[in-house]
Amino acid sequence: MSEVCVVSAMIDEIIPHPNADKLDLAKIGEYTTAVVRGEFKAGDLVAFFPPDILIPPGIALKMGVAAYLKPAVYPGEYRKSACRVAAVRLRGSPSFGFCLKIQGVEPGVDLSGRFHAVKYEPPEPLWWNMTGDNESDDARFYKYTSIENYRNSRFRGAFETGLPVRITEKIHGTNSRVALLGGDYFCGSHQCNKREYSKDVDHTERNRSLYWRPLTEDMKALLWYFASEKGPNVIAYGEIYGAGVQFMSYGAPEKSGYRLFDISVNGEYVNWGEVEAACRRFCIPTVPLLYLGPFYPGLVDSLVDGPTTVVDPKTLKETFTGREGIVITPLQEQSSNIMGGRLIAKAVSVDYLACRKSDSH
């Protein structure tokens, strides 16, 4: 699955901003975005630019939106410019991205090419290049699902009211894959299979790849348990976090935190009840569970913002102590024609998007 950047959409509703006389809030799918009062109405066709995409500086100037964009480096450029679409709270109300009136297209059309919009990819921290040499790929070492944004209007209705779901806190770290494949251990990042030690270094814990550290004796026992119960190729997906990983460390010492969020066996994801029970048995920490029960309208908005539950936020010395966002999955694994694959979605907190640092180029 690939995440569309800019899409044509109908404005569902215009809501007067509760704390600003000159602003309205346009509701587009599950997004709200601030607009000048009186300039838009329900039913207007717009191009919607969601947060965390990049548009060329020249196009941003031509559209008159450069003053509202964050600095980043657009692909092919060498310096920062105002090109990253952001999200903010305006007098207490969340505003995601922006919209422009358009004509001549149907709703749901991908307009990314028209505006040369691309998805923003944060620059890779230098330490990611120093965590073990890449190993050759293995076809059995599947990458984790590409998670689409719940608020995207293209995915409206994917989660039906009453569907039993789990909603977990999305942790700000680096994706981890730990696997037992045909009796051999594999570890890696989201993209790369990693060697346990780089070439020409002492095989000490200090030099061990970051991505091999979650492979503890307890983790090995968990992997062998699923291998014996369900099949020989088991992958545990989790998040590594801590000081030096991202700007949110959750108070963990350097690169020391780990939480598991999914397991697949022979390419099929295991239902959460089985995963949770096994993780309890083998003492493997899991991502914080925020909700377990039937899905209903408004549920996502009620949980996406708020303090982190990874640790007590009062103990943190970081500037931002909120949630990056949430991940929504059904309790029984299933596919979705609307999503075009596995039924899973994320929603990102407006407070996280507003405070996240610019890239470090």
| DSSP string covering 156-185 | TTSS-TT-EEEEEEEPSSEEEEEEEETTEE
Q: Are residues 62 and 147 in the same domain?
A: no
On the CB side of 282, how many CA atoms lie within 13 Å of its CA? 20
- The pLDDT value recorded for residue 341 is 92
Q: Are residues 313 and 184 in the same domain?
A: yes
> Residue 276 falls within a domain, yes or no?
yes
Q: Which two tokens stand for residue 296?
A: 């209903």
Q: Are residues 105 and 131 in the same domain?
A: no
Report the distance separating Cα 7 and Cα 340, nearest Å. 17
Are the CB atoms for 123 and 359 separated by under 8 Å? yes
- Partners of residue 186 on adjacent β-strands: 179
Q: Are residues 61 and 113 in the same domain?
A: yes
Q: Are residues 150 and 298 in the same domain?
A: yes
Report the distance separating Cα 210 and Cα 217, nearest Å. 16
Positive or negative torsion for Cα 276, 279, 283, 289: negative
- Structurally, how many domains does the chain consist of? 2
The β-bridge relationship of strands 148-149 and 81-84 is unpaired
Q: Are residues 146 and 269 in the same domain?
A: yes
CATH of the domain at 286: 3.30.470.30
Report the distance separating Cα 298 and Cα 304, nearest Å. 10
Are the CB atoms for 59 and 116 separated by under 8 Å? yes
pLDDT by 10s per residue, the chain, length 361: 456 689 999 999 999 999 988 999 999 988 999 999 999 999 999 999 999 899 999 999 998 888 889 999 998 888 899 999 989 898 889 999 999 999 989 998 999 999 999 988 876 665 555 556 888 889 999 999 989 889 887 888 999 999 999 999 999 999 999 999 999 999 999 988 998 887 766 666 667 888 999 999 999 999 999 999 999 999 999 999 998 888 889 998 887 899 999 999 999 999 999 999 999 999 999 999 999 999 999 999 999 999 999 999 999 988 899 999 999 999 999 999 999 899 999 999 999 988 876 544 3
- The pLDDT value recorded for residue 156 is 84
> Residue 1 falls within a domain, yes or no?
no
- Closest to 273 measured CA to CA, from 259, 257, 289: 289
* Domain end among 93, 119, 145: 119
Model confidence, pTM: 0.86
Between the alpha carbon of residue 359 and those of residues 46, 124, 313, 356, the distances in Å are: 29, 9, 25, 9
Amino acid at 124: E
The parent domain of residue 80 ranges over 7-119
Token look-up 């949430």 returns 326
> Residue 348 falls within a domain, yes or no?
yes
Are the CB atoms for 144 and 237 separated by under 8 Å? yes
* Domain end among 119, 151, 182: 119
Q: Are residues 36 and 141 in the same domain?
A: no
Positive or negative torsion for Cα 46, 99, 301, 177: positive
Are the CB atoms for 36 and 17 separated by under 8 Å? no
Are the CB atoms for 214 and 238 separated by under 8 Å? yes
- Closest to 279 measured CA to CA, from 361, 221, 231, 325: 221
* Domain end among 119, 147, 165: 119
Q: Are residues 155 and 295 in the same domain?
A: yes
Positive or negative torsion for Cα 17, 23, 24, 27: negative
Phi then psi for residue 107, to 5 deg, are -60, 145
Q: Are residues 95 and 15 in the same domain?
A: yes
Q: Are residues 111 and 189 in the same domain?
A: no
Positive or negative torsion for Cα 282, 283, 287, 290: positive
